Structure 1
């Protein structure tokens, strides 16, 4: 009895000290995370204030100071007079179409490589993985030459083909772990019931991968929406330009409308920001699901 009481007295301070250490550790972690979150939000706050100022306020006031007279007209000006409405719609449909094609084609390739036995599957997968190491800038001249010969320069298809080609490797890499982890018993049962390969993929495998598909779709959307190099190289007509290139309309030889540029950047950020806020849990779920094999 005495020895048991002594043991409790010895364990009591140790356990309370460990609990206190855990609380301090969590408190320090939360403080660090809050500071990181604030640092992430500050550029958005600065851009919002920037978009509501005129040129004089941009250069004469501190960066995070509120504008003396908020210029909400900057948003209406860039939307109508600056053709941002056209650029915005171009960004939307090009991004959606390229993302959908990339996700579907990458799913087909990954299914064929991981779930079907055929000669050369490892070689094909290796080719896609090697493509990840090719710098984008090194392909601009060859791609421009090819598109020029087949009549796709200054055409939205040049953007869609380029986005799909360069996003396929990273999309396949994300899908690989999830497809390897799929139980083969489901496919075997479907084959016994007389299910064809095409039907098995469309009705069984493809729906089972919805979480990781959401992850790849969001990653593709962010890349396609923010892409600048291909648009600036292949597109010259205003009717096909996207938001990333359209911001240059407010940069003149002698004067630059900085408030309009800020408003354009704010408009371009909002769709991706809203999408990420609503679907961020899908990104974590998809990455976690694709990181475990077996």
Structure 2
């Protein structure tokens, strides 16, 4: 009896030691994650303080110092006098239109490649994957020439078509793993019930991929929202420009309103942060689901 109780005491101490080590490991992990989070938030805090300063405070005060007199009027100035309201709306609708088209078309392409039997499916998939190797801005001159011939220069459609084309390969690549993992029994049952291919896709398959679609949507939104080169090249009318180009309005030949630039950048960041907060759970689900095949 004494030997049994001693063994139990030894096992209890070993279990307690493992539990303590596990707790210490979790504490260390949380400390590291908190440190990384603070490091990631540093630029946002700096930008917020930057946007509330005038030019003198920007250059004379330390980067993380609070402004002596917060200039909230910087936000009013850029929204009203700086025409940022128009640029903001242009960014919103162009980004959403390009993202919606990319997600729907990429889903249709992925469904055709993974679910339908046709000879050129592997070739089409290879062409899309090959497109990922092409530097985006190396196509700037050919695209400008093409859009100029079809009279799409200074037209938002040129931006939407460009964004859709360049985001298709990465979107298809993310969707592929998820589509391969989808059970075919559901589709087969719908076909037996008399469901057409189009109806099966939009009523059954498309809703089943909502988690991975959120992942592809946020990736598309971030790229489309922050894109600068194509907007600066294809769009010349002030009423059609987006936020990334509109920030140049506060850069003059002799003076630059740094506080207004900071306010514009802060306004441009907020929609992305809000979208990420709302879609963060779906993004994690989509990444996990898309990484499993079979």
**What TM bracket, shorter-length normalisation?**
over 0.9
1:288 corresponds to 2:288: yes
- Cα distance per residue 1:33-84 (max 9 Å; x no partner): 0000111111111111100100000000111111111111111110011110
Q: How does 1:1-294 map to 2 (within 5 A)?
A: 1-294=1-294
Give SS of 2:240's match: coil
Aligned counterparts of 1:10 and 1:186: Cα–Cα separation in 2 = 54
- Cα distance per residue 1:188-214 (max 9 Å; x no partner): 111111111111111111111111111
Aligned counterparts of 2:236 and 2:21: Cα–Cα separation in 1 = 61
- Following superposition, the deviation at residue 143 of structure 1 comes to 0.8
Aligned counterparts of 1:6 and 1:126: Cα–Cα separation in 2 = 66
- Following superposition, the deviation at residue 5 of structure 1 comes to 2.0
Structure 2 segments unaligned to the other structure (5+ residues):
none
Aligned counterparts of 1:193 and 1:62: Cα–Cα separation in 2 = 69
- Cα distance per residue 1:211-251 (max 9 Å; x no partner): 11111111111111111111111111111110001001101
Give SS of 2:32's match: helix
Q: TM-score, normalised by structure 1?
A: 0.98
Aligned counterparts of 1:15 and 1:208: Cα–Cα separation in 2 = 43
- Cα distance per residue 1:79-109 (max 9 Å; x no partner): 0111101100000000010000000000000
Aligned counterparts of 1:27 and 1:288: Cα–Cα separation in 2 = 25
Aligned counterparts of 1:3 and 1:185: Cα–Cα separation in 2 = 58
Q: TM-score, normalised by structure 2?
A: 0.98
- Following superposition, the deviation at residue 21 of structure 1 comes to 1.1
Give SS of 2:238's match: coil
- Following superposition, the deviation at residue 2 of structure 1 comes to 3.1
Query: How many residue pairs end up in the alignment?
Result: 294
